[in-house]
């Protein structure tokens, strides 16, 4: 658990650190940097990650194909036999509910749907068509609401993981997604962080609230515009094909909220993910490759 005893940075200095260190989205950077060979391997990795939200477990599971993939997924869901590292099969805190009988049933339902091609799940979510359907290079960005709805059609996939699915599909260049402020700011944390910045700029007390929903939406719009302008010299990881925009501003706001509350020291995500991968590296070539591709944390490379 992160220590609360560290200097607090302004959102401007903190956001710059996230962007320059790679701690904004270190998983995206590592996935983009790795040489996958077979795209289906990355797609199996994504499906396992979305279920368990742990890079080490996803790396190990993704190395299995067809029925072997589902065997590994079942074992992780049941969590009775030790994981390859000798401990319990991990869940990221964000997917802590993907466990027990519900998780076991979810894996069986996924297997029934995708059979010996588990990687097909990624294409189905992204475009809603079979994987042998050719998507034109000039295909329009997919509306967030449509892709998120397809993600939420998978068992135990709720609004938060559906948003993360859309974000990863877009940022990894698998499918362009058309986000809007409503889709990005549908969760409490970025809204709270935006309102905190508004209060600070207006010298308002900590308990000040917008007078109505319309005013709150206007405040969020203004905060996003202000931060987008501030960080316009930075490009969006991992592909850096465009300037920082709505998705990255949401991440900066969320992480800054945790930073100010004592739960996010500098390099937090990089250090935690590298630590989680280190335990799996002896058992998974993919985990070793991902560890090598990760940005360096506060303690340097592994």
Give the confidence band of 139 by pLDDT, cuts at 50, 70, 90: low
Per-residue pLDDT for 45 more than 70?
Answer: yes
Helices (H), the chain: 11-21, 26-33, 39-52, 55-62, 66-78, 100-114, 120-127, 144-152, 159-171, 181-184, 188-202, 213-230, 246-260, 268-278, 285-293
Q: Is the pLDDT of residue 134 over 80?
A: no
Q: Is the pLDDT of residue 116 over 80?
A: yes
Q: Say whether 143 sits in a helix, a strand or coil.
A: strand
Give pLDDT, residue 302: 45
Per-residue model confidence (pLDDT) at position 288: 98
Active site residue 209: no
Structure token pair of residue 177:
């997604």
Name which residue leads in pLDDT, 299 or 257.
Answer: 257
User: Does 296 have pLDDT greater than 80?
Assistant: yes
pLDDT over 90 (residue 101): yes
Q: Determine which one of 119, 250, 285, 296 is catalytic.
A: 250
- Mean pLDDT across 22-50: 97
Tell me the pLDDT band of 130, cut-offs 50, 70 and 90.
low
Over residues 170-182, the mean pLDDT reads 92
Question: What is the rounded distance in angstroms from the CA atom of residue 124 to the CA atom of residue 278?
Answer: 32
CA proximity to 196, closest of 223, 174, 221: 223
Residue 2 has pLDDT above 70, yes or no: no
Mean pLDDT of the chain: 92
Tell me the C-alpha distance between 15 and 100, whole Å.
38
């Amino acid at each position: 658990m992160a220590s609360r005893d560290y200097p607090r940075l302004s959102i401007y200095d903190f956001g710059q650190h996230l962007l320059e260190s790679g701690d904004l989205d270190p998983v995206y950077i590592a996935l983009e940097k790795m040489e996958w060979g077979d795209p289906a391997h990355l797609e199996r990795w994504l499906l396992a990650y979305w279920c368990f939200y742990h890079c080490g477990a996803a790396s190990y599971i993704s190395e299995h194909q067809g029925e072997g993939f589902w065997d590994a997924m079942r074992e992780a869901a049941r969590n009775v036999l030790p994981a390859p590292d000798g401990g319990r099969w991990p869940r990221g805190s964000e997917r802590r509910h993907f466990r027990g009988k519900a998780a076991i049933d979810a894996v069986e339902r996924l297997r029934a749907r995708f059979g010996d091609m588990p990687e097909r799940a990624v294409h189905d979510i992204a475009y809603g068509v079979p994987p042998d359907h050719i998507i034109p290079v000039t295909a329009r960005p997919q509306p967030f609401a449509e892709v998120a709805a397809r993600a939420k059609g998978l068992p135990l996939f709720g609004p938060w993981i559906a948003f993360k699915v859309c974000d990863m599909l877009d940022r990894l260049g698998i499918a362009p997604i058309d986000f809007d402020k409503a889709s990005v700011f549908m969760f409490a944390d970025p809204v709270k962080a935006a309102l905190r910045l508004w209060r600070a700029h207006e010298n308002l007390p900590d308990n000040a609230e917008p007078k109505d929903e319309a005013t709150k939406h206007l405040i969020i719009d203004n905060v996003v515009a202000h931060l987008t302008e501030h960080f316009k010299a930075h490009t969006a990881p991992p592909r850096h094909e465009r300037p920082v925009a709505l998705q990255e501003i949401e991440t900066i706001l969320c992480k800054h909220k945790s930073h100010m509350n004592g739960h996010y020291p500098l390099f937090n995500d990089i250090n935690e993910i590298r630590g989680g991968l280190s335990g799996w590296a002896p058992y998974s070539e993919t985990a070793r490759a991902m560890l090598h591709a990760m940005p360096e944390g506060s303690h340097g490379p592994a």
